[in-house]
Structure 1
Amino acid sequence: MSVDLSAAITTFVSESKELLADMENSLLDMEASDAGADQEETINAIFRAIHTIKGSAGLFGFDYVVSLTHIAETVLDDVRNGNREMSKALLSLYLETGDLCEELILLAASDSEPSAQQLTQLTDLSGQFHEFIDDAASPQDNIVTSDSPKLPQNGIWFVCFVPNENVLRNGLDPFPFIHFLNNEVTELEVATNVVPLNAQTPYDPESCYLAFLMLFRTSQNKEAIEEVFEFIKNDAVIEILPPEQCSYDAIQACARYFPEPSQFQSTLSQLTQSLLPNEPSAPAPDDDPITAPIKDKKKNKLHSSKTLRVEAMKLDRLIDQVGEMVITGARTNLLAHETGNETLIEAMALLERLVENIRDSSLKLRMVQIGETFNKFKRVVRDVADELGKEVELNIIGADTELDKTFVEKVSDPLMHIIRNAIDHGIETPDERVAAGKSACGQLTLKAYHDSGSIVIEIQDDGQGLDQSKILARAIENGLISAEHSLQDKEINLLIFEPGFSTAAAVTSISGRGVGMDVVKRNVESLRGSVEVDSTKGLGSKIIIRLPLTLSIIDGFMFTVGDEDYVIPLDTVVECLELHEVVSESDIQDKNYINLRTEVLPFIRLRSLFGIEQQIEHTKESLVIVQFGTLRAGLVVDSLQGEFQTVVKPLGRLFEGLKCISGATILGSGKVAIILDVSALIRTAITMYEQLELKH
């Protein structure tokens, strides 16, 4: 029967990517920090990552991956043993190895062959590693095959390997693990035990009825032997006895993993004749603990697991269904109130709270820490700085800040553009920094934190800052603004996000083509976010990206303008006031700002913004004060409806680009309510206020 390994290979690819990412971060941390007590553990972690990938790749027959990781592991073992230092050249070699290893894994997983360029790179890397090896073998000798010479061996080990009944159904074949072990040890003796069948348990061709007892010699430690079976450890019972514990009596204790100890005794006798000639002891007693079924052991293993991989698509479907449940719950709650039945209303209130808890729990499932994304930029900073001949240190703050996984995927590219531009245009060369009285090494800081229902990401450098006069001159030259146009400092800074804008004197591989920063703004705004720039010439720049916590379901605040209902995120609402209590009728007609507790607060009448001609009495209007980041403004609305659980629905391409609108939601009555973009509303209100001030 052929075993379908596609699911196992998919898991291997996913786990290998994580191991390679951890390995890269460890290497970059070693390069950035001084050597110390932690370096030994870091090197051991890198070694384990390479060794695990090599072992798993060997199980699937990914020979090119095994070839590369084997020689990388050999050199790293010298470093572990203190025979060699982890120099910068060797560290760079391992970074390149990680990159190529990921490419080879993806190719092998898709049943594709490496390109000629990748094979050349493989040979080149093997050759560079070979220079660190004492013997004079050629790079081609480092390709691992089943005929490769084994490591020096000595002690006798024992392994009891009992795959569970469903191992074949799960896409795992036990034999490659034994085959791989054979390549790592010497004098491997294997005895196979077959579970007897009877009329009550008919034969199932998809079930596994085999168990294996193995004796062999090796100088490796127990951890190395365990890693051979790393990929199948959750689908089998694996008992390993090292030389100091490997006796006939100790091996007999493994009888508890077999349904019939007498059969185990017979299998054990055949196995130990060559390597363990000791006289057999009395058979293990046939009591309940010893004859416990293998499946019970497996059950304990499963219960010890604390994490579970779930496909992102399944989580998305769950969030969508929870959203529909919220909408249906609102509709049912409305109908309950129409009946006037107090018992039903009370039951619906309880159900609404439960739905809200399910909503919060399901949204948390998709929340991930942003540190994983931040760590990816360590390599970017290192490589770009080296290419430009600069010294840059990356500082990460708030790595444990959580955000929706959707944002993680979509914010990565904007951050990449900003970081590359900061190193290229912002941070000076070491000589320029020393001449300016700064340290030769530039500082680049990535910071994330939660603020008022949003996640804020700051990218700050201590470079030369933005040259506003140069930016303004280039914007006029490119026709982005007219020479008569008057702009404030913050508006000038935002010109760097205009399409086609660049102040670079020459096009390089990093920047100068005028693409990148406009993509940043477009991507962030597509996520209902905003971008701000704060810069001081000679001291550095800070770019602030502000995003909502989630795109799916939010706590909303609903109000009415005209005959329509509108919703804004509840977290953006500061307070609500009766308009006539804070501003007179004459002020409302002539001004679009009020003096609220000594603070000038711009406001915008949503009736005017949406072109609603029907008027209402001034005394009935309300003022909703909203805040996004550091900016505040007021929204004049007709009436307040209160809090509302809001399921965000996209409006479709027809409504793309509509200012101040970010989506829609379905109310309990079945009516559609528009979700407003608070950030855009605040900017509109401030712009109108500034234009009015200029006229006066």
Structure 2
Amino acid sequence: MSIDLSSAIATFVTESKELLQEMENGLLDLESESSQEHASEIINALFRAIHTIKGSAGIFDFEHVVALTHIAETLLENARNGELQLDKELISLYLEARDVTETLITLAASETEPDADLLNKVNHLVACFAKYIKEQNDEPDNIRTTQVTSGNKLDNERWVLFFVPNENVLRNGLDPYSFIHYLDSETSELKVNTWFDAMFGPQQFDPESNYLSFILSFETDKSEDEINDVFEFIQSEAYIAILPPHGDADIVKSSLQKYQDIDFVTHALKEADPAFSDIIQLLSKKEQPENTELVETVAGAPTPANTSKIHKSKTLRVEALKLDRLIDQVGEMVITGARTNLLAHETGNETLIEAMALLERLVENIRDSSLKLRMVQIGETFNKFKRVVRDIADELGKQVDLTIVGAETELDKTFVEKVSDPLMHIVRNAIDHGIEDPETRIANGKSEQGQLTLKAYHDSGSIVIEVSDDGKGLDQERILKRAVDRGLVSANQTLQEKDINLLIFEPGFSTAESITNISGRGVGMDVVKRNIDSLRGSVEVESSQGKGSTILIRLPLTLSIIDGFMFEVHKENYVIPLDTVVECLELHEVVSEQDIQDKSYINLRTEVLPFIRLRTLFGIEEQIDHTRESLVIVQFGTLRAGLVVDSLKGEFQTVVKPLGRLFEGLKCISGATILGSGNVAIILDVSALIKSAISVYEALEKKH
């Protein structure tokens, strides 16, 4: 029977990439780690990661992956024993091996053979690792003997291992024999005893179920943890008990109580090795343990020696597509709930209205819980930039220290995926254009190591991501001159500092004197702004010449379902995110009739507040009684403005629907939603509205 391993291979690829990322983070931490104790912990974690990848790759017979990880693991073993120091050169070698291993795993999973260039890289890395191992082996014999002794290596002794895969192991895409085959390659004189589960009859036999169990006997100098690692990939699908050469008979007996056929077990042990005669005698008595509860625990879990290696998973992998479908269905439920609630109020039935109110609260809770499923910490994305910063700084001959703040801040997974590339461009530009080389920094009275900070936090219903550096800052005079030369602004045009800073996001704009591998072509920063705009976000730039720059990316909390605030303009409904609403006022109470006609701002509690009439913005010429209008104060980031609307409708749970490509160019509009009545309400872009209000205010001020 052929076994479909596609799902198991997909799991292997996912878990291997996670381990490789952890390995990369560990190597980068090791490079800056001064504590010997912590460095030892990191090296042990690196060894476990690469050993797990090697073992899993061996199960699927990915020979190129095994070849590279095996020799890399061998050298790490020397580092664990204190025989080798992982210096910067060796860390760079491991980082390169990490990249090549990821490529090999991806190709192997897609059943694609690596090309000649990739194989040359593999051979080069193997040769480099072999050179280090040869240097270790060339040391005096007395030193090597001492080091081996300190590593607690064992002579070859006979071990016995009970391997009982569960009934569904084949359905889950795992082949138990692959693990036995791999154990055979790692040990010597392997003997395999197999027996069938005696609990099923002919009528109950299922060809897709597993009824085989194994007792394995072998010789090895490996430790118990290393033997257990061979089966790490199948731990959750099998019961595994390891009997060491000098194991305690009582512990062994307790571990084997789960086997109904004790006679077979004793026979298998006799076949495995006569040295287990004491255990055989104990098992033959078939004594029941005193503590039944303890035995039940042991029967359903690994032996005490394995407990530290295995833990119950606290996470569940779910395909992103399934989550997207769930969010869509919850969104439709919100719309249907609003429609049902409206109909309930039309009936006037108080009991029905009360029941609908309860249902609405439950739907809201389901909505919040569903959205949290998509929330992930941004720290995973931030950590990827440790490698980027290291490599770019080395290439440019600069020293850069990366600081990460707010790694636990959560945001929608969609944002995490789409904000990674913009952040990459910003970080690369900060190192290339912002941070000076060590000589220049020292001459300017700075430390030779530049500081780059990635920071994330929540602010006013938004996610804010800051990229800060302590470099030379933006040369606004030079930026403005280059913008004039390119025709982006006129020579007599006066711009504020924040507007000059934003010119770096114009397509093709660059102040670099020369083109490098990193930047200088004027490509990238315009893509940053375009991507952020597509997420209904905004970008701000703060800079002080000679001191550094900060780029702030501001994003909404979610793209799917939001708490909205609805109002009416010319008998049409419009919605804005509730988080952006500061307060609502009666227009005639804060603005005189004259100010409404002639001015674009009001003095609200000593604050000059620009406002914009949505009727004017939408080109509606029909007049309305100003005493009926309302003023909605909105805020996005540090900017505030007022929106003049016809009437207020209140809070509204909003399911965001895209408008389609036909409406992509429309400013101030970010989407649409369906109301309970079945009508469509436009969702407005608050950031764009505030900028429009400020632009109108500044234009009128210049006229005056």
Task: State the alpha-carbon separation in 2 of the partners of residues 38 and 199 from structure 1.
Answer: 56
Could you tell me which residue of structure 1 aligns to residue 164 of structure 2?
162
Instruction: Return the letter of the residue paired with 1:268.
Output: L
For the 8 Å contact 1:554–1:648, the answer to whether it is kept is yes
Q: Is it true that 1:212 corresponds to 2:186 in the alignment? A: no
Q: Is it true that 1:102 corresponds to 2:102 in the alignment? A: yes
Instruction: Return the letter of the residue paired with 1:665.
Output: T
Q: Which has the higher mean CA deviation after the structures are superposed, 117-126 or 260-269? A: 260-269
What is the Cα deviation at residue 225 of structure 1? 1.6
Could you tell me which residue of structure 2 aligns to residue 186 of structure 1?
188
What is the Cα deviation at residue 277 of structure 1? 5.2
1:595-623 Cα distance to aligned partner (Å, 9 max, x none): 00000000000000011122211110000
Task: State the alpha-carbon separation in 2 of the partners of residues 410 and 55 from structure 1.
Answer: 34
Task: State the alpha-carbon separation in 1 of the partners of residues 349 and 113 from structure 2.
Answer: 70
Task: State the alpha-carbon separation in 2 of the partners of residues 435 and 653 from structure 1.
Answer: 53
For the 8 Å contact 1:164–1:295, the answer to whether it is kept is no
For the 8 Å contact 1:445–1:459, the answer to whether it is kept is yes
Could you tell me which residue of structure 2 aligns to residue 634 of structure 1?
642
Task: State the alpha-carbon separation in 2 of the partners of residues 242 and 259 from structure 1.
Answer: 22
Quickly say closer, same or farther: Cα 1:626–1:73, change in 2 above 3 A. same
Quickly say closer, same or farther: Cα 1:291–1:512, change in 2 above 3 A. closer
Q: Is it true that 1:257 corresponds to 2:258 in the alignment? A: yes
RMSD of the alignment, in Å?
2.3
Instruction: Return the letter of the residue paired with 1:20.
Output: L
Instruction: Return the letter of the residue paired with 2:346.
Output: E
For the 8 Å contact 1:261–1:291, the answer to whether it is kept is no
What is the Cα deviation at residue 119 of structure 1? 0.5
Task: State the alpha-carbon separation in 2 of the partners of residues 405 and 82 from structure 1.
Answer: 41
For the 8 Å contact 2:165–2:176, the answer to whether it is kept is yes
Could you tell me which residue of structure 2 aligns to residue 567 of structure 1?
575
For the 8 Å contact 1:255–1:290, the answer to whether it is kept is no
1:90-113 Cα distance to aligned partner (Å, 9 max, x none): 010000000000000001001111
Instruction: Give matches, 1:311-390, under 5 Å.
Output: 311-390=319-398
Could you tell me which residue of structure 2 aligns to residue 522 of structure 1?
530
What is the Cα deviation at residue 217 of structure 1? 2.7
Task: State the alpha-carbon separation in 1 of the partners of residues 115 and 342 from structure 2.
Answer: 63
Could you tell me which residue of structure 2 aligns to residue 12 of structure 1?
12
Task: State the alpha-carbon separation in 2 of the partners of residues 675 and 443 from structure 1.
Answer: 40
1:376-431 Cα distance to aligned partner (Å, 9 max, x none): 00000001111111110100000000000000000000000000000000000000
Q: Is it true that 1:673 corresponds to 2:681 in the alignment? A: yes
What is the Cα deviation at residue 486 of structure 1? 1.4
What is the Cα deviation at residue 194 of structure 1? 1.5
What is the Cα deviation at residue 326 of structure 1? 0.3
Task: State the alpha-carbon separation in 2 of the partners of residues 578 and 269 from structure 1.
Answer: 92
What is the Cα deviation at residue 299 of structure 1? 13
For the 8 Å contact 2:160–2:215, the answer to whether it is kept is yes
Q: Is it true that 1:232 corresponds to 2:234 in the alignment? A: yes
Could you tell me which residue of structure 1 aligns to residue 133 of structure 2?
133
Quickly say closer, same or farther: Cα 1:612–1:290, change in 2 above 3 A. closer
Could you tell me which residue of structure 1 aligns to residue 41 of structure 2?
41
TM-score with structure 1 setting the length:
0.94
Q: Which has the higher mean CA deviation after the structures are superposed, 396-405 or 284-293? A: 284-293
Could you tell me which residue of structure 1 aligns to residue 141 of structure 2?
none
- Secondary structure of residue in 1 paired with 2:273: helix
Instruction: Return the letter of the residue paired with 2:170.
Output: L
For the 8 Å contact 2:255–2:299, the answer to whether it is kept is no
Instruction: Return the letter of the residue paired with 2:686.
Output: V
1:291-318 Cα distance to aligned partner (Å, 9 max, x none): 9999983899999432111000000000
Instruction: Return the letter of the residue paired with 1:617.
Output: D
State which of 194, 197, 205 in structure 2 corresponds to 1:195.
197
What is the Cα deviation at residue 192 of structure 1? 1.1
For the 8 Å contact 1:370–1:400, the answer to whether it is kept is yes
Q: Is it true that 1:478 corresponds to 2:479 in the alignment? A: no
Could you tell me which residue of structure 2 aligns to residue 32 of structure 1?
32
Gaps of 5+ in 1: 139-150
Gaps of 5+ in 2: 139-152
Could you tell me which residue of structure 1 aligns to residue 2 of structure 2?
2
Task: State the alpha-carbon separation in 1 of the partners of residues 696 and 199 from structure 2.
Answer: 84
Instruction: Return the letter of the residue paired with 1:106.
Output: T
Could you tell me which residue of structure 2 aligns to residue 505 of structure 1?
513
Q: Is it true that 1:115 corresponds to 2:123 in the alignment? A: no
Task: State the alpha-carbon separation in 2 of the partners of residues 181 and 622 from structure 1.
Answer: 76
Q: Which has the higher mean CA deviation after the structures are superposed, 209-218 or 125-134? A: 209-218
Task: State the alpha-carbon separation in 2 of the partners of residues 33 and 55 from structure 1.
Answer: 29
Quickly say closer, same or farther: Cα 1:28–1:299, change in 2 above 3 A. closer
Q: Which has the higher mean CA deviation after the structures are superposed, 483-492 or 180-189? A: 180-189
Quickly say closer, same or farther: Cα 1:368–1:290, change in 2 above 3 A. closer
Instruction: Return the letter of the residue paired with 2:627.
Output: T
Could you tell me which residue of structure 2 aligns to residue 297 of structure 1?
300
Task: State the alpha-carbon separation in 2 of the partners of residues 579 and 71 from structure 1.
Answer: 75
Could you tell me which residue of structure 2 aligns to residue 144 of structure 1?
none
What is the Cα deviation at residue 521 of structure 1? 0.1
- Secondary structure of residue in 1 paired with 2:191: strand
For the 8 Å contact 2:193–2:214, the answer to whether it is kept is yes
For the 8 Å contact 2:154–2:223, the answer to whether it is kept is no
Instruction: Return the letter of the residue paired with 2:619.
Output: G
What is the Cα deviation at residue 198 of structure 1? 5.2
Task: State the alpha-carbon separation in 2 of the partners of residues 665 and 286 from structure 1.
Answer: 70
Quickly say closer, same or farther: Cα 1:311–1:295, change in 2 above 3 A. farther
What is the Cα deviation at residue 286 of structure 1? 7.7
State which of 449, 474, 489 in structure 1 corresponds to 2:497.
489
- Secondary structure of residue in 1 paired with 2:134: coil
TM-score with structure 2 setting the length:
0.93
Q: Is it true that 1:66 corresponds to 2:74 in the alignment? A: no
Instruction: Return the letter of the residue paired with 1:563.
Output: K
- Secondary structure of residue in 1 paired with 2:280: coil
Task: State the alpha-carbon separation in 1 of the partners of residues 279 and 512 from structure 2.
Answer: 83
Instruction: Return the letter of the residue paired with 2:300.
Output: K
- Secondary structure of residue in 2 paired with 1:600: strand
Quickly say closer, same or farther: Cα 1:497–1:308, change in 2 above 3 A. same
Instruction: Return the letter of the residue paired with 2:697.
Output: Y
What is the Cα deviation at residue 53 of structure 1? 0.2
Task: State the alpha-carbon separation in 1 of the partners of residues 251 and 547 from structure 2.
Answer: 69
- Secondary structure of residue in 1 paired with 2:300: helix
Task: State the alpha-carbon separation in 1 of the partners of residues 409 and 375 from structure 2.
Answer: 10
Could you tell me which residue of structure 1 aligns to residue 280 of structure 2?
280
Instruction: Return the letter of the residue paired with 1:88.
Output: K
Q: Which has the higher mean CA deviation after the structures are superposed, 438-447 or 258-267? A: 258-267
What is the Cα deviation at residue 479 of structure 1? 1.3
Task: State the alpha-carbon separation in 2 of the partners of residues 638 and 42 from structure 1.
Answer: 63
Task: State the alpha-carbon separation in 2 of the partners of residues 325 and 198 from structure 1.
Answer: 47
Could you tell me which residue of structure 1 aligns to residue 416 of structure 2?
408
- Secondary structure of residue in 1 paired with 2:411: strand
Q: Is it true that 1:648 corresponds to 2:656 in the alignment? A: yes
For the 8 Å contact 2:465–2:552, the answer to whether it is kept is yes
Task: State the alpha-carbon separation in 2 of the partners of residues 129 and 330 from structure 1.
Answer: 65
Instruction: Return the letter of the residue paired with 1:57.
Output: A
Task: State the alpha-carbon separation in 2 of the partners of residues 533 and 313 from structure 1.
Answer: 35
What is the Cα deviation at residue 267 of structure 1? 2.9
Q: Is it true that 1:592 corresponds to 2:593 in the alignment? A: no
Task: State the alpha-carbon separation in 2 of the partners of residues 334 and 663 from structure 1.
Answer: 23
Instruction: Return the letter of the residue paired with 1:311.
Output: E
- Secondary structure of residue in 2 paired with 1:595: strand
What is the Cα deviation at residue 59 of structure 1? 0.3
Quickly say closer, same or farther: Cα 1:291–1:367, change in 2 above 3 A. closer
Task: State the alpha-carbon separation in 2 of the partners of residues 265 and 251 from structure 1.
Answer: 12
Task: State the alpha-carbon separation in 1 of the partners of residues 355 and 311 from structure 2.
Answer: 36
What is the Cα deviation at residue 453 of structure 1? 0.8
Instruction: Return the letter of the residue paired with 2:123.
Output: T
